[in-house]
Chains A and B, each alone.
Chain A
Amino acid sequence: MEALDELRNLFSARHDIVRDWKRQGKHVVGWASTYTPEEILYAASILPMRILGSPETAKLAHAYCPDNMCSFCRSCFDVALKGDYDYLDGFVTSASCDNREKMYDLWRHHVEIPYFYFINTPHTNTNTAHEFFYDELVRFRESLEKAFRTPISDQSLRKAVRIYNENRVLLKKLYNLRRKDPPLISGREALETVLSSMLTPKEVHSRLLTQLLKEIPQRDDPPTKGVRLLISGSVMDDAGLLEIVEATGGSVVADDLSTGSRYFWNSVDPTAESPLFAIARRYLDRVPCPFMGQSEDRFRHVQDMVKRYDVEGVIIFVLRFCDPHLFDAPLLKAELESSGLPVLYLEWEHAMTGFAQLRTRIEAFLEMIRGVG
């Protein structure tokens, strides 16, 4: 499948592709949390690009970072120290967990990037939070206009909303193909497709996605049948873990990941009078990450997915030191188990070596489900 190969390439060759894009005189801004309203950057003709880590050990970051922190954050910082993000014109992060907030200091002091911005994301979606966040986005828009000397009109915001929504709808269609048994696309392929969407100009990505959706029904190498699983967790910027799951007889058919369904599940209301207002609402009302107050909404999302995708078991992969997830995980686990679903809880570290122990536990879990079924 050509489209799939190309999407994969967008992911693995991202730094080179972006350097090319920069040569055309365009700006690139890295964003660190899925609560960054990319539409606003896009409307300023900036390429918003997700900051991701690398599967290598974070050697350089070691001198600055303690052991007791999120290894994903550490890895992202390491990539920056290596100079792989030297093309960035800006770095935008948001209040979305203690790890990320504190890493903002290290980025500002140790990585040379011309523009830094921190968006104050509220932790709830009450009316007061909505009002505050709208104003916060007005401030963000003004800051970008000044720094990049481009006006950001409502019209360009509306266009960005349209383009972003289109991509979201296409990704949902792709996810629909996972409802079949066996699914038409593997968990690894789905994850890589979402990841590539975070790195590519959205029109380019949507074009490839459309092609992919056409190609898939005729694919001659569909995934094999396996235990239908949902993967829940924080961030996964590498398909390594899913590969292990799928190599041991699991079939990842749904997810609750910030680099998966949580990234694109909700659209912006395209009919709203103020596009900025609609954007602000979308980000606070979306399927939340656990630093937000409405954990119930996320749990409901997981339950809905379990039904929609005929899920037989859930693996909760929590990244060590990711506090918001660590607090939510026992609650989510209990809730799913009380509805009769087998749940496996695993802690992992980014770029970890020695997957053997994880593999053994996953195997045992799948055995158990098969035995029951």
Chain B
Amino acid sequence: MSVAGNKRRLQTTQGFYRNYVKKFYDDAHRAKKEKKPVAWVASTFPIEMLQAMEVTPVWPENYASVCAARQVSLRLCEAAERAGFSKDLCSYARCVLGSIFEEKDLPEGGLPKPDFLVASTGACDTHFKWFQVASRRLNRPLFLLDIPYDTTGAQAPEDYQVKHYVTQLDELISFLEGQIGKQFDMNRLRTVERLSDRTSKLWMEIQDCRKAVPAPMNARDAFSTVFFMLCIPGSEISIKFYEKLRDELKERVKDGVGAIEDEKHRVIWDNLPMWFNLRFFNHLNSLGAVIVAETFSHVWAGDLNPSKPLESLAKKYLPNFANAVAERRINLILRLIREWRVDGVILPTNWGCRMMSIGMTLLKKVIRKELGVPSLILNIDSTDWRNYNEAHVKTEIEAFIEMLRRKG
């Protein structure tokens, strides 16, 4: 007999960490050993520019999530605190700075040391300050992409913003040429963009599959496989993987197979998960709830037009709810609710992140007003479990799902 909420595991995502993430870090360490350029990258930075220069990008935020999953992030956060960095700062930042200050026993041998760092203000100001500290400490140069805040939440960025972005990409090209000692190859960028565009489209097809009732994929798989979108969008390996995943999901949709056996509630998860406790999603499943969309899965994709390589990067990366007035995020969530047939929204905050904490009350209010859908604000942290009270969070979740059930 089947048990409600029983999970069915996808074939494609089995061994994901070992096969892809671990390999990614091994490759990066190898590149470093072979004296190939390695860069630290912050999210919302146009990684395609680095890929075009055959730089190996490593992503400190991803590394923080790896450290959290391996249950070592707290030790690293504390190392940063001992060096004077406040407990109230972003736990990603503390964790990664901690791995610089205290280098022993690091997962995957630590982040390979960068030849240079690149950051952008496109998600938060924390990125810039955090990378500045790292850049000083490691004595490696930092390139900053300074992204204007989106003050209207309009569909497309304004021309002057695109122009400003492109000017900075030109500066980035000079920076990269100076660092690496070879000329930037626009044609190579075009090739990378073609691959990246394909990766994005596949990722969105995967998201679209989750519109089906029952939904064929859960948050846990989404939060691990989004890895390609973030870290290596413009690569063959990403495309191959996503094609396989999409095919498996399509198959499931055709056969009416859901991620859990008895789907009762379809829920959105905003922002980040507790990387140190992804099992939490199993608990949700056992209550008959499945996460059908994460806002996090919907920010990274974007079309690229290789015939206008720089401009199209601007248009892909400028619209981003993290760096915009609340309307952009609200519109995204409202669209997800409608199209993914959602009946509840979970709005997790993040202790060290203002972007993910301020304004949640407003989101909750507008979502309720516009679509009558209830939200739950959950106070958590992505990486530092001292800011997470499991018993409390469980109680709140159970009450929320119970409320959905009664409403249903």
In the complex, are the beta carbons of B90 and A323 less than 8 A apart? yes
Instruction: State in angstroms the CA–CA spacing of A48 and B376 once bound together.
Output: 39
In the complex, are the beta carbons of B361 and A102 less than 8 A apart? no
In the complex, are the beta carbons of B85 and A326 less than 8 A apart? yes
Q: Distance in Å from the Cβ of B300 to the closest Cβ of chain A? A: 20
Q: A132: CB under 8 A from chain B?
A: yes
Q: Which residues of B contact A333 (CB under 8 A)?
A: 84
Q: B83: CB under 8 A from chain A?
A: yes
Q: Distance in Å from the Cβ of A132 to the closest Cβ of chain B? A: 5
In the complex, are the beta carbons of A331 and B88 less than 8 A apart? no
Instruction: State in angstroms the CA–CA spacing of A295 and B133 once bound together.
Output: 11
Chain B residue at minimum C-beta to C-beta distance from A326: B86
Q: Which residues of B contact A329 (CB under 8 A)?
A: 84, 86
Q: Which residues of A contact B362 (CB under 8 A)?
A: 64, 105-106, 109-110
Binary contact readout A40-79 vs B (1 if CB under 8 angstroms, 0 otherwise): 0000000000000000000000011110111000000000
In the complex, are the beta carbons of A122 and B325 less than 8 A apart? no
Q: A128: CB under 8 A from chain B?
A: yes
Instruction: State in angstroms the CA–CA spacing of A118 and B168 once bound together.
Output: 22
- Interface bracket on B: 35 or more
- Interface bracket on A: 35 or more
Q: Which residues of A contact B86 (CB under 8 A)?
A: 318, 320, 326, 329, 347
Q: B140: CB under 8 A from chain A?
A: no
Contact A123/B358 with A118-B149, A327-B130 known, Cβ cut-off 8 Å = no
Instruction: State in angstroms the CA–CA spacing of A331 and B135 once bound together.
Output: 12
Q: B10: CB under 8 A from chain A?
A: no
Instruction: List B residues 116-151 near A (Cβ within 8 Å).
Output: 121, 124-126, 128-130, 132-133, 136, 144, 146, 148-149, 151
Instruction: List B residues 128-180 near A (Cβ within 8 Å).
Output: 128-130, 132-133, 136, 144, 146, 148-149, 151, 160, 164, 167-168, 171
Chain B residue at minimum C-beta to C-beta distance from A110: B362
Instruction: State in angstroms the CA–CA spacing of A321 and B387 once bound together.
Output: 14
Q: Distance in Å from the Cβ of B197 to the closest Cβ of chain A? A: 27
In the complex, are the beta carbons of B354 and A69 less than 8 A apart? yes
Interface of B is mostly: loop
Instruction: State in angstroms the CA–CA spacing of A118 and B358 once bound together.
Output: 17
Chain B residue at minimum C-beta to C-beta distance from A96: B125
In the complex, are the beta carbons of A128 and B325 less than 8 A apart? no
Q: Distance in Å from the Cβ of A75 to the closest Cβ of chain B? A: 14
Q: Which residues of B contact A99 (CB under 8 A)?
A: 354, 358
Q: B89: CB under 8 A from chain A?
A: yes
In the complex, are the beta carbons of B124 and A324 less than 8 A apart? no
Contact A105/B326 with A69-B357, A323-B125, A323-B354 known, Cβ cut-off 8 Å = yes
Instruction: State in angstroms the CA–CA spacing of A207 and B208 once bound together.
Output: 67
Q: A10: CB under 8 A from chain B?
A: no
Q: B13: CB under 8 A from chain A?
A: no
Q: A264: CB under 8 A from chain B?
A: no
Q: A291: CB under 8 A from chain B?
A: yes
In the complex, are the beta carbons of A323 and B129 less than 8 A apart? yes
Q: Which residues of A contact B359 (CB under 8 A)?
A: 102, 105-106
Chain B residue at minimum C-beta to C-beta distance from A100: B354
Chain A residue at minimum C-beta to C-beta distance from B80: A330
Instruction: State in angstroms the CA–CA spacing of A262 and B188 once bound together.
Output: 46
Binary contact readout A92-135 vs B (1 if CB under 8 angstroms, 0 otherwise): 00010111011111101110000000101011100011001001
Contact A128/B355 with A97-B125, A293-B132 known, Cβ cut-off 8 Å = no
Q: Distance in Å from the Cβ of A180 to the closest Cβ of chain B? A: 34
Q: Distance in Å from the Cβ of B397 to the closest Cβ of chain A? A: 18
Q: Which of A63, A102, A324 contacts B129 (CB 8 A)?
A: A324
Q: Distance in Å from the Cβ of A283 to the closest Cβ of chain B? A: 15
Instruction: State in angstroms the CA–CA spacing of A44 and B89 once bound together.
Output: 40
In the complex, are the beta carbons of B148 and A120 less than 8 A apart? yes
Contact A324/B125 with A105-B362, A118-B151, A124-B146 known, Cβ cut-off 8 Å = yes
Q: A345: CB under 8 A from chain B?
A: yes
Q: Which of B144, B149, B358 contacts A66 (CB 8 A)?
A: B358
Q: Which residues of A contact B98 (CB under 8 A)?
A: none
Give the top 3 A-B pairs by smallest Cβ distance, nearest first.
A330-B84, A102-B358, A327-B129
Q: 10 more A-B contacts (CB under 8 A) besides A102-B357, A318-B86?
A: A69-B354, A70-B354, A98-B354, A99-B354, A99-B358, A128-B171, A293-B128, A326-B88, A327-B133, A329-B86
